[in-house]
Amino acid sequence: MTTLVITVIGEDRPGLVSALSDAVAEHGGSWVRSQLSELAGTFAGIVTVEVPPDAVEPLKGALRGLQGVLETRVRRIDEDPPRPAAEGAVAHLELVGHERPGIVRQISGVLAAAGVSVERLQTAVVPAPQAGGDLFQARALLRAPAGTDLDRLRSALEDLAQELQVDVAFGEDEQGADWG
């Protein structure tokens, strides 16, 4: 079997997942893993599928046929050199504070400076129930390289949280912060 990563984006409407899954199934493919979301009326996601080697090109053609409904991009996993298995500590970060421009930029800057990789990130802006205005919420699953001083990273994140006037929770996470 050949593993493909398919990215999709389109105007949200019923039937998009069905159209995509139909194309995969019609080419003998197996839907392995996905993350799909609707944001601001736009449907976007990434799907990993496995298909017989002789079905790769026909599936790509079928996915091109979805243009106008879903824009797709397909990448074979074996097209790029294999990456080494992720090593290092898994950590989670949760942040809540009044919405303002630049929060993700500043937090991600601290993480990048420490060589920490963001494996998953979920953010949202929600109404502040009693304070008025909006709250920014972020939840991240992180991978810190072996040897990273997590206490020093925690301190840097807490210093930034004070500057940004947000609440931050950071810690090592043995089970992936319930990301599933």
Residue 57 and residue 14 share a domain: yes
29 domain residue, yes or no = yes
Residue 174 and residue 98 share a domain: yes
On whether the CB atoms of residues 41 and 12 are closer than 8 A, the answer is yes
84 domain residue, yes or no = no
Say yes or no to pLDDT of 161 above 90: yes
d(C-alpha 41, C-alpha 39), whole Å: 5
Number of domains, the chain: 2
User: What backbone phi and psi angles, to 5 degrees, belong to 122?
Assistant: -125, 130
Percentage of the chain surpassing pLDDT 70? Answer: 91
Instruction: Report DSSP letters for 102-143, one per residue.
Output: THHHHHHHHHHHTT-EEEEEEEEEEE-TTT-SEEEEEEEEEE
Report the pLDDT value the prediction gives residue 49, as an integer from 0 to 100.
95
Say yes or no to pLDDT of 74 above 90: yes
Residue 60 and residue 112 share a domain: no
pTM strictly above 0.85: no
Residue 96: give the domain boundaries. 89-178
Say yes or no to pLDDT of 83 above 90: no
Say yes or no to pLDDT of 179 above 50: no
Residue where a domain stops, chosen among 79, 102, 130: 79
Say yes or no to pLDDT of 180 above 70: no
Residue 166 and residue 108 share a domain: yes
Question: Between 176 and 147, where is the model more confident?
Answer: 147
As given in the structure block, the two tokens for residue 135 are 């709250």
Report the pLDDT value the prediction gives residue 44, as an integer from 0 to 100.
94
| Mean predicted confidence (pLDDT) in 27-42 | 92
pLDDT tens digits along 135-157: 999 999 999 998 899 999 999 99
Residue 51 and residue 116 share a domain: no
Residue where a domain stops, chosen among 53, 79, 105: 79
Residue 112 and residue 65 share a domain: no
Report the pLDDT value the prediction gives residue 69, as an integer from 0 to 100.
87
| Mean predicted confidence (pLDDT) in 119-137 | 87
> Which CATH number fits the domain that encloses residue 15?
3.30.70.260
